[in-house]
Amino acid sequence: MKKIIKWIVVLAIFGGGGYGFYGSKVKKNEAAKPSYDRTKAEIRDLRITVESTGEIKPRNRLDVKPPIAGRLEELLVDEGDVVDKGQVLGWVSSTERATLLDAALATSIEEFEYWQDLYKPSPLISPLKGTIIARNFEPGQSIGANDAIVVIADDLIVIANLDETDIGQVKVAQKVLVRLEAYPEKEFSCEVEKIAYDARLVSNVTMYEVDVRPDRLPPFARSGMTANLEFIIQEKEKILVVSASAIQQKSAAKPTTKAEKSASDGPDPDRRAMMMERMRERGMSDAEIKERLAEFAAGGARPGGGMGGGKKGGGKSSSGISYVLIDSGDPEKPTEQIVKPGISDGSYTEILEGLEEGSEVLIPKINMGSGKSNGGSPFMSTVGRGGGRR
Condensed to tens digits (0 to 9), the pLDDT of residues 277-331 reads: 767 766 666 766 776 776 656 544 444 443 333 333 333 434 578 999 998 887 7
Domain count, the chain: 4
Confidence band for 211, pLDDT divided at 50, 70 and 90: very high
Of residues 11 and 257, more confidently modeled: 11
Of residues 29 and 44, more confidently modeled: 44
pLDDT at 275: 72
Q: Are residues 176 and 230 in the same domain?
A: yes
pLDDT at 179: 95
CATH number at residue 174: 2.40.30.170
Instruction: Please report, as a single letter, which amino acid is at residue 324.
Output: V
CATH number at residue 359: 2.40.420.20
Q: Are residues 216 and 162 in the same domain?
A: yes
Average pLDDT, the chain: 79
Q: Are residues 189 and 234 in the same domain?
A: yes
pLDDT at 303: 42
Cβ–Cβ contacts within 10 Å for residue 288, how many? 14
175: Cα separation from own chain's centroid: 15
Does the structure show a pLDDT above 80 at 93? yes
Is the Cβ–Cβ distance between 315 and 300 less than 8 Å?
yes
Domain assignment of residue 233, yes or no: yes
Does the structure show a pLDDT above 70 at 161? yes
pLDDT at 156: 87
Q: pTM for this one?
A: 0.56
Does the structure show a pLDDT above 70 at 385? no
Q: Which residues pair with 242 in a beta bridge?
A: 349
In whole angstroms, give the CA distance from residue 52 to residue 55.
10
Range of the domain at 350: 36-45+241-249+319-364
382: Cα separation from own chain's centroid: 28
Q: How far is CA 173 from CA 60, 189, 339, 390, in A?
A: 20, 12, 35, 26
Kindly report, residue by residue over 49-81, the tens digit of the pLDDT: 899 999 999 888 899 999 999 999 999 999 989
